[in-house]
Amino acid sequence: MTRSVLVAASALTAALACAIPAVAQAPPGGDTGGGVVRVQKPVTGQQVYEAVCQACHMADARGGTGAGTIPPLAGNPKLAAAPYVSMVVVRGQGGMPPFAGTLDDEQIAQVVTYVRTRFGNAYAKPVTAADVAKIPHPDRSGGH
Protein backbone atom coordinates (compact mmCIF):
# COMPACT_ATOMS: atom_id res chain seq x y z
CA MET A 1 0.00 0.00 0.00
CA THR A 2 1.05 3.52 -0.64
CA ARG A 3 1.49 6.02 2.12
CA SER A 4 -1.58 8.07 1.00
CA VAL A 5 -3.82 4.98 1.12
CA LEU A 6 -2.59 4.17 4.64
CA VAL A 7 -3.19 7.74 5.80
CA ALA A 8 -6.70 7.73 4.31
CA ALA A 9 -7.50 4.35 5.90
CA SER A 10 -6.23 5.57 9.28
CA ALA A 11 -8.31 8.76 9.04
CA LEU A 12 -11.42 6.77 8.15
CA THR A 13 -10.86 4.37 11.05
CA ALA A 14 -10.39 7.28 13.47
CA ALA A 15 -13.55 9.02 12.21
CA LEU A 16 -15.61 5.85 12.61
CA ALA A 17 -14.21 5.21 16.08
CA CYS A 18 -15.37 8.68 17.14
CA ALA A 19 -18.75 8.57 15.40
CA ILE A 20 -20.03 5.18 16.52
CA PRO A 21 -20.01 5.92 20.30
CA ALA A 22 -21.72 9.28 19.69
CA VAL A 23 -24.58 7.64 17.78
CA ALA A 24 -24.88 4.82 20.30
CA GLN A 25 -25.23 7.36 23.14
CA ALA A 26 -27.91 9.51 21.51
CA PRO A 27 -30.56 10.44 24.05
CA PRO A 28 -33.92 8.72 23.60
CA GLY A 29 -36.41 11.01 21.91
CA GLY A 30 -33.72 13.53 21.04
CA ASP A 31 -31.18 14.31 18.37
CA THR A 32 -29.59 11.07 17.18
CA GLY A 33 -26.35 12.81 16.27
CA GLY A 34 -27.15 12.59 12.57
CA GLY A 35 -29.59 15.47 12.62
CA VAL A 36 -32.59 13.15 13.01
CA VAL A 37 -34.87 13.99 15.92
CA ARG A 38 -37.19 11.28 17.16
CA VAL A 39 -40.67 12.57 17.89
CA GLN A 40 -43.04 10.76 20.18
CA LYS A 41 -45.98 9.14 18.36
CA PRO A 42 -49.20 11.10 18.96
CA VAL A 43 -51.57 8.95 21.00
CA THR A 44 -54.43 11.04 22.36
CA GLY A 45 -57.04 12.61 20.14
CA GLN A 46 -55.71 16.05 20.98
CA GLN A 47 -52.13 15.02 20.14
CA VAL A 48 -53.22 13.55 16.80
CA TYR A 49 -55.31 16.63 15.99
CA GLU A 50 -52.44 18.99 16.81
CA ALA A 51 -49.84 16.91 14.94
CA VAL A 52 -51.88 16.03 11.85
CA CYS A 53 -55.24 17.75 11.48
CA GLN A 54 -54.78 21.32 12.59
CA ALA A 55 -52.34 22.11 9.77
CA CYS A 56 -55.37 22.21 7.44
CA HIS A 57 -58.42 22.47 9.72
CA MET A 58 -56.70 25.13 11.90
CA ALA A 59 -56.18 25.17 15.66
CA ASP A 60 -59.76 26.38 16.20
CA ALA A 61 -61.13 23.76 13.74
CA ARG A 62 -62.79 26.46 11.66
CA GLY A 63 -61.15 25.30 8.41
CA GLY A 64 -60.13 27.81 5.79
CA THR A 65 -59.91 28.79 2.17
CA GLY A 66 -56.96 29.40 -0.09
CA ALA A 67 -55.76 26.99 -2.75
CA GLY A 68 -58.79 24.92 -1.72
CA THR A 69 -61.57 24.96 0.81
CA ILE A 70 -60.92 23.14 4.06
CA PRO A 71 -64.24 22.39 5.74
CA PRO A 72 -64.74 23.51 9.32
CA LEU A 73 -64.99 20.84 11.98
CA ALA A 74 -66.20 23.32 14.58
CA GLY A 75 -69.95 23.15 14.99
CA ASN A 76 -70.24 20.78 12.03
CA PRO A 77 -73.49 18.74 12.06
CA LYS A 78 -71.89 16.09 9.79
CA LEU A 79 -69.84 15.01 12.82
CA ALA A 80 -73.03 13.56 14.36
CA ALA A 81 -72.49 10.48 12.16
CA ALA A 82 -69.39 8.91 13.71
CA PRO A 83 -69.05 6.22 11.00
CA TYR A 84 -69.06 8.93 8.31
CA VAL A 85 -66.36 10.96 10.06
CA SER A 86 -64.26 7.84 10.64
CA MET A 87 -64.64 6.84 6.98
CA VAL A 88 -63.48 10.26 5.80
CA VAL A 89 -60.35 10.02 7.98
CA VAL A 90 -59.65 6.41 6.93
CA ARG A 91 -60.32 6.76 3.19
CA GLY A 92 -59.94 10.48 2.55
CA GLN A 93 -62.36 12.63 0.61
CA GLY A 94 -62.01 15.49 -1.84
CA GLY A 95 -58.66 17.10 -1.18
CA MET A 96 -58.16 15.28 2.12
CA PRO A 97 -55.83 12.30 1.82
CA PRO A 98 -56.58 8.93 3.41
CA PHE A 99 -54.93 8.55 6.80
CA ALA A 100 -55.20 4.75 7.10
CA GLY A 101 -51.62 3.57 7.07
CA THR A 102 -50.38 6.90 8.44
CA LEU A 103 -52.52 6.65 11.56
CA ASP A 104 -53.52 3.36 13.14
CA ASP A 105 -57.15 2.57 13.97
CA GLU A 106 -56.71 3.60 17.62
CA GLN A 107 -55.28 7.01 16.64
CA ILE A 108 -58.16 7.53 14.19
CA ALA A 109 -60.70 6.59 16.86
CA GLN A 110 -59.07 8.96 19.33
CA VAL A 111 -58.99 11.95 16.97
CA VAL A 112 -62.55 11.39 15.72
CA THR A 113 -63.79 11.21 19.32
CA TYR A 114 -61.77 14.34 20.16
CA VAL A 115 -63.19 16.40 17.30
CA ARG A 116 -66.74 15.18 17.95
CA THR A 117 -66.55 16.38 21.58
CA ARG A 118 -64.72 19.70 21.09
CA PHE A 119 -64.98 22.86 19.01
CA GLY A 120 -68.68 23.36 19.72
CA ASN A 121 -69.55 19.73 18.95
CA ALA A 122 -71.33 17.67 21.61
CA TYR A 123 -71.43 14.14 20.19
CA ALA A 124 -70.39 12.31 23.34
CA LYS A 125 -70.40 8.66 22.21
CA PRO A 126 -66.74 7.66 21.82
CA VAL A 127 -65.46 5.98 18.66
CA THR A 128 -63.37 2.85 19.24
CA ALA A 129 -60.59 1.23 17.24
CA ALA A 130 -63.00 -1.67 16.63
CA ASP A 131 -65.46 0.79 15.05
CA VAL A 132 -62.70 2.12 12.78
CA ALA A 133 -61.55 -1.41 11.87
CA LYS A 134 -65.01 -2.12 10.40
CA ILE A 135 -64.46 0.55 7.73
CA PRO A 136 -62.95 -0.75 4.49
CA HIS A 137 -59.40 0.57 4.43
CA PRO A 138 -57.69 1.61 1.20
CA ASP A 139 -55.56 -1.04 -0.49
CA ARG A 140 -52.18 -0.96 1.26
CA SER A 141 -50.41 -2.84 -1.54
CA GLY A 142 -49.34 0.41 -3.17
CA GLY A 143 -51.95 0.33 -5.93
CA HIS A 144 -54.40 3.10 -6.65
pLDDT value, residue 30 = 57
Nearest 10 degrees: CA dihedral of 114, 74, 101, 26?
A: -70
For residue 31, name the pLDDT band (cuts at 50, 70, 90): low
Give 3-state DSSP helix, strand, coil % of the chain, rounded to 5.
45, 5, 45
**Among 117, 112, 118, residue whose Cα is nearest residue 90:** 112
Looking at domain 45-133, its CATH superfamily turns out to be: Cytochrome c-like domain (1.10.760.10)
Q: Domain segments of the chain: what residues? A: 1-39, 45-133
Does the pTM surpass 0.85? The reply is: no
pLDDT of residue 73: 97
- Distance in angstroms between the alpha carbons of the first and the last residue of the chain: 55
Calculate the average pLDDT of the chain: 81
At residue 126, does pLDDT exceed 50? Answer: yes
pLDDT of 98 higher than 80: yes
Residue 88 φ then ψ, to 5°: -65, -40
pLDDT tens-digit map of 41-96: 888 999 999 999 999 999 999 999 888 899 999 999 999 999 999 999 999 999 89
pLDDT at 32 over 80: no
Q: Contact 52/100 with Cβ under 8 angstroms?
A: no
pLDDT at position 36:
77
Rounded average pLDDT over 5-34:
46
Q: What integer is the mean pLDDT of 117-122? A: 96
Alpha helices in 25-121 (DSSP H): 45-48, 54-57, 82-91, 105-116
Buried b (16+ CB within 10 A) or exposed e, 117-139: eebebebeeebbeebbeebeeee
